[in-house]
């Protein structure tokens, strides 16, 4: 099974989750600035909501996918909104790439909100989630 992990992180919260997932599935986590260069069965894609959407870098990454992707597993961190799934699902629908119903999301620190998040429990939960996805 071919797996890829990509993420976009401004404050480092989503990067921490990406690295936990990466370690759990045994592939390097890369930023969305690095395009997919080969077909993948599972793409773990991480982001956070910015102005009630995903960052333009995530949109650009998705728009530029020109390889086969079996399914996308969304993961996200946020101080307020619980998930970015609906935003990425819409973008992937335009490319006929399915986004799985299963996803991982947790709180991320922002300003005075959720200090210390994601914490060790969140990182462990993200790793366990990823292992469950790949079987």
pLDDT of 82 higher than 80: no
- CA distances to 43, 93, 102, 115, 119 from 71, in Å: 6, 11, 11, 33, 28
Residue 79 and residue 107 in contact, taking contact as beta carbons nearer than 8 Å: yes
- Categorize the per-residue pLDDT at 110 as very low, low, confident or very high, splitting at 50, 70 and 90: low
Domain ranges (residues) in the chain: 3-134
Strand pairing report for 69-78 and 99-107: parallel
- Categorize the per-residue pLDDT at 49 as very low, low, confident or very high, splitting at 50, 70 and 90: confident
**Quick one: average pLDDT of 60-86?**
91
pLDDT of 83 higher than 70: yes
Token digits for 124?
């462990």
Partner residues linked to 78 by β-bridges? 107
**Which among 12, 61, 13 has a CA at the least distance from the CA of 33?**
61
Task: Note the pLDDT of residue 112.
Answer: 63
Residue 53 and residue 88 in contact, taking contact as beta carbons nearer than 8 Å: no
Say how far apart CA 107 and CA 118 lie, in whole Å.
6
Mean pLDDT of the chain: 92
Task: Note the pLDDT of residue 43.
Answer: 98
Topology classification of domain 3-134: Rossmann fold (3.40.50)
pTM of the shown model: 0.92
């Amino acid at each position: 099974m071919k797996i890829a992990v990509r993420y976009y992180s401004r404050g480092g919260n989503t990067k921490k989750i990406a690295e936990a997932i990466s370690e759990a599935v045994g592939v390097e986590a890369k930023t969305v600035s690095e395009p997919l260069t080969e077909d993948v069965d599972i793409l773990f894609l991480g982001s956070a909501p910015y102005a009630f959407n995903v960052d333009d870098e995530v949109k650009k990454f998705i728009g530029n996918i020109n390889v086969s992707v079996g399914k996308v597993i969304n993961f996200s961190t946020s101080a307020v909104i619980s998930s970015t799934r609906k935003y990425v699902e819409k973008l992937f629908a335009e490319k006929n790439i399915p986004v799985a119903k299963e996803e991982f999301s947790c709180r991320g620190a922002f300003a005075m909100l959720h200090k210390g998040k994601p914490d060790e429990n969140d990182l462990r939960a993200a790793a366990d989630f990823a292992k469950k996805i790949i079987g």
